[in-house]
Chain A
Amino acid sequence: MVDKYQNSIIKVRGLTKRFGKFTAVDNLNFDVSQSEIFGFLGANGAGKTTAIKILCGLSSPSEGNAEVAGFDVYKQTENIKKNIGYMSQSFSLYEDMTIVENIRFYGGIYGMPLTLLKERTNHMLNRLKMTEYANKLIKEIPLGWKQKLAFSVATLHRPKIVFLDEPTGGVDPITRRQFWDLIYEAIDIGITVFVTTHYMDEAEYCHRVSIMVDGKIAALDTPDNLKQQYNAKSMNEVFLQLARKK
């Protein structure tokens, strides 16, 4: 496993972001390796969103450095955007468009050649067992399907990194595990997965997890090691010990 994660796809050094006198992100340092599932946790207001915006090329840091997929977060934000995918629970697909229209739309945005887009669309629909529903509107399909589809669309252009925001909230546990199957397939072809969530049981699926408290990373390790270190049965207990310490 060690070998597999040697290449850093995200490098963060001393990353800091201030809003006036308030330091939202305070000297973050971490690496994410290729094909890693990296959990990025923190309570509301801990600074997660601010940090992610920087990593997605949507906001500039006040201090420090970061490279995402080999691109600099100050100067190469457009390159970053082309090389990442993003999926959140609150927004993912257009409800009034069909499955296949959504796929075509996203493929178009990322400038995928038509033949490649067609090939990947067929492959994706086949994999998701949705081929015969390709012309259904998004609003007509179950939530679990939407989430699986949204993830597949977010990785359609084979980004180097895909950012997931609370990806499996509210779905039934079987659908959720099927969703994680898709994630594990994605890392198998070299995609790196960066997950933020409030739900600590999602953290158990990650290879490594960082926990932000008041703008700083308070802990970073594998779920097993964290549970051991904090003498906790679950990631939820680890999280509460750290986040409630204030």
Chain B
Amino acid sequence: MKALEVSHIYKTYNDITALKDVSFNVAEGELFGLIGPDGAGKTSLIRIIITLLLADSGEIHLLGKDVVKEYKYLRSRIGYMPGRFSLYSDLTVLENLNFFATVFGTSIEANYNLIKNIYSQIEMFKDRKAGDLSGGMKQKLGLSCALIHKPEVLFLDEPTTGVDAVSRKEFWEMLQELKQKGITIIVSTPYMDEAEMCDRVALLQKGEIMSIDTPQNIINEFSEELIEIKTPDLYEVKEKLRLEFGKNSAFMFGQSIHFSTSSKSKSKELLNEFFEENNFNIESVNIIEPNIEDCFIKLMTKDS
């Protein structure tokens, strides 16, 4: 069964189009990622799905129910962790958790099993005010509060923004555990490298979905070769490549240049010829595997 079916969603704010013909499905038990930069429409989309915002047009079924007509049914069955820390700073860790359990007519004890692995990491601070927690701990408390009523679908809006790499890693491990327990998870992030933690992802840009697939398939569909060039004259070589092959063909990456063109394959031969003609001092030219960010850029520049 589909946990979520989104069809042809449009949303505008005054004259700004936030979402344009967005459609996708999420299967039950799937860990689904909405990947896109600030302003791509991630938050609007999540808020429309979880019944907090109305779309201009289009339809959404969550757990088989229409999100506009059956919002009351749905609200008790979904968990939501917004992008901004939105717990009560003046309440303690335990008071926050108790509050959210009570609002949903349940108790911490009833669903402790579900949050045990997460909450146990902050339980020693249960009498500390939520506002005094570190970023990583706030995030764990936020997740505990979003789970305490045992939701069937969990929505997380940019849960890892501003958290350090260790906490981020731990957070994704927690999501994997929740997935094992059968919870459907929809998570948004501006960080392209987090795509690989998801079963499937939608790449979102300016309110439109550019691609939906497994991270590996998206990478496999990168239609050209990505080439890493090492040279002592990085800046000069990069500039020359751009003049010859276009402004998005070459980018600096620390001690190397990443190069790709829309001409399919053989770009390595093409490059070697170009370097020879121009007498550049080149140390190495290697084909490397693209990452999601490379794919995202390719999709962004496809139409322009």
Contacts and interface: CB of A to CB of B under 8 A. Distances in A.
B165 A222 contact: no
B252 interface: yes
A142 interface: yes
B169 interface: yes
B193 interface: yes
Interface in A17-44: 37, 42-44
Interface residues of A, number: 37
Interface string B237-281: 010000000001001111100000000000000000000000000
A109 interface: no
A131 interface: no
Given A44-B136, A142-B39, A173-B192, A240 B254 contact: no
Nearest to A42: B164
Interface in A137-181: 142-143, 169-175, 177, 180-181
Task: Name which of B36, B39, B136, B234 has the most chain A CB atoms within 10 A of its CB.
Answer: B39
Contacts of A199: 165, 191
A42 B165 CA distance: 9
Contacts of A188: 235
Interface string A216-246: 0000001110000000001010011001100
Please provide the 3 A-B residue pairs with the shortest distance between their CB atoms, ordered closest to farther: A172-B37, A170-B38, A43-B164
5 contacts: A43-B164, A174-B300, A184-B235, A224-B254, A240-B166
Given A175-B37, A223-B254, 12 more contacts: A169-B190, A172-B40, A173-B192, A173-B296, A174-B300, A180-B252, A205-B254, A207-B255, A222-B255, A240-B165, A240-B169, A243-B164
Interface of B: 36-40, 134-136, 161-169, 190-193, 205, 232, 234-235, 238, 248, 251-255, 293, 296-297, 300-301
